[in-house]
Structure 1
């Protein structure tokens, strides 16, 4: 197994940072992990050992966010998706057969990437994905303390540190943008097999939104992790890893 140093893809003044690890298996496409609002690669630390054991893994840190102090203006959901799609292409890492795993805003971005370059994306895992929530950003922000109480308390310092690195302007700008970007009309166009996985204790994005997301995608199934909150891959990592690995092992059922 290899672990690369952190690298970046430059497009104009924008830098998309990523790190590659895991097995090199020509028979199985790589996994690309996309964090959510205020996130970083550290949000996947309880999942990487299980995923790296079966696939090559690329962990992305979106423009404006991440674990390295480099303040950039965050992109909107659609611009972020366009940059990730560009990075996946021939001018970047040139990946095919990709499984995109996105959490929250990262899931919303993953949906748009899958629509932009379906020839490169073979599967989707949407973990508490945003895109169907219709609330003012300040009401969502007001629920953050309650959401933290439903998650792992020892992960709260990571959430706060990554949010501080991103900066309040980026957090507000990105929150407003993702709440304006409704993916309802996009869902029927998604042809990739999709796992929609949610935390039963998620107060930011209630599980009903996950059920609606899965219902809108033709090859999707919905899985609920009853004890997890919004950051479900941290709150219930063993269950999350088990469901994702089982999904990856399923035969390909994608049809036009």
Structure 2
């Protein structure tokens, strides 16, 4: 059962966080569409994991303090959250903008709380010859589940969410230093990508994955920038396979 809560990670900042399930911990970081965009993933993972899914300050009516004005600042907030919840051996999963935040969180994890990283069509690095092309709205959903996308997904990111995104990401929507720093990541990494993504192309994803010491790159066929919505079963299967060794070691 999904439980919303407010977590005081530091004076003056309470995070809206949804938690669900039991088992090895997973931190899920959403992209521009907001928490609704990762809900299918949260529901899936909650069957065997403790899932922690915060709302980035500035999304869904939440307040973004003035000092939360960069990806490193947001990453520091999530490290504070993991500390507050006393979580270790955490898998961090980030989609799109959330993938950038997830990567920065791993890079700044001085306490060794994070054990695995999963990126899904993530932005973040400045890849030569590639750029982020923001969509005008969500892509067609011919292969979406029968229930269809939620109203929030159909509308796409709100104006306030896009303002928060630009406050964190800056006008370039990229960190020119990020790609070179990925060689220091020692935890296992999985990079998943929609084969038809036009926001950040598969070539962008391949360059992202190649910058890590070892990061398998897997294409999700017939999916664009939101494979969690377009091909959830394929994403879930890839994640379950990646997480299986950790699941075996954490079960009694």
In structure 2, the partner of 1:194 is 189
In structure 1, the partner of 2:136 is 144
In structure 1, the partner of 2:250 is none
Runs of 4+ in structure 1 over 4 Å off: 150-154
CA contact 1:151–1:231 (8 Å) conserved in 2 = no
CA contact 1:150–1:201 (8 Å) conserved in 2 = no
CA contact 1:126–1:195 (8 Å) conserved in 2 = yes
Residue 172 of structure 1, aligned match among 166, 173, 186: 166
Per the normalisation by structure 2, the TM-score is 0.83
Consecutive unaligned residues in structure 1, runs of 5 or more: none
CA contact 1:16–1:60 (8 Å) conserved in 2 = yes
In the alignment, structure 1 residue 80 sits paired with structure 2 residue 79: no
Higher mean C-alpha displacement, 213-222 vs 189-198: 213-222
Change (3 A) 1:178 1:128: farther
Deviation for aligned residue 1:152: 6.6
In structure 1, the partner of 2:123 is 130
Per the normalisation by structure 1, the TM-score is 0.82
CA contact 1:65–1:162 (8 Å) conserved in 2 = no
Deviation for aligned residue 1:246: 0.5
Consecutive unaligned residues in structure 2, runs of 5 or more: 248-252
Counterpart Cα distance in 2 of 1:139 and 1:103: 14
Tell me how many residue pairs correspond in the alignment.
238
CA contact 1:63–1:75 (8 Å) conserved in 2 = no
In the alignment, structure 1 residue 20 sits paired with structure 2 residue 19: yes
User: SS of 1:220's equivalent?
Assistant: coil
User: SS of 1:110's equivalent?
Assistant: helix
In structure 2, the partner of 1:104 is 96
Deviation for aligned residue 1:87: 1.3
In structure 2, the partner of 1:56 is 50
Q: CA RMSD in A?
A: 2.7
Change (3 A) 1:107 1:54: same
Counterpart Cα distance in 2 of 1:112 and 1:231: 21
CA contact 1:37–1:175 (8 Å) conserved in 2 = no
Residue 37 of structure 1, aligned match among 32, 37, 46: 32
Deviation for aligned residue 1:48: 2.7
CA contact 1:71–1:166 (8 Å) conserved in 2 = no
Deviations 1:163-212 (A, max 9, x none): 22735532433442672423112210111101100001110000111111
Counterpart Cα distance in 2 of 1:181 and 1:150: 31
CA contact 1:150–1:202 (8 Å) conserved in 2 = no
Change (3 A) 1:233 1:44: same
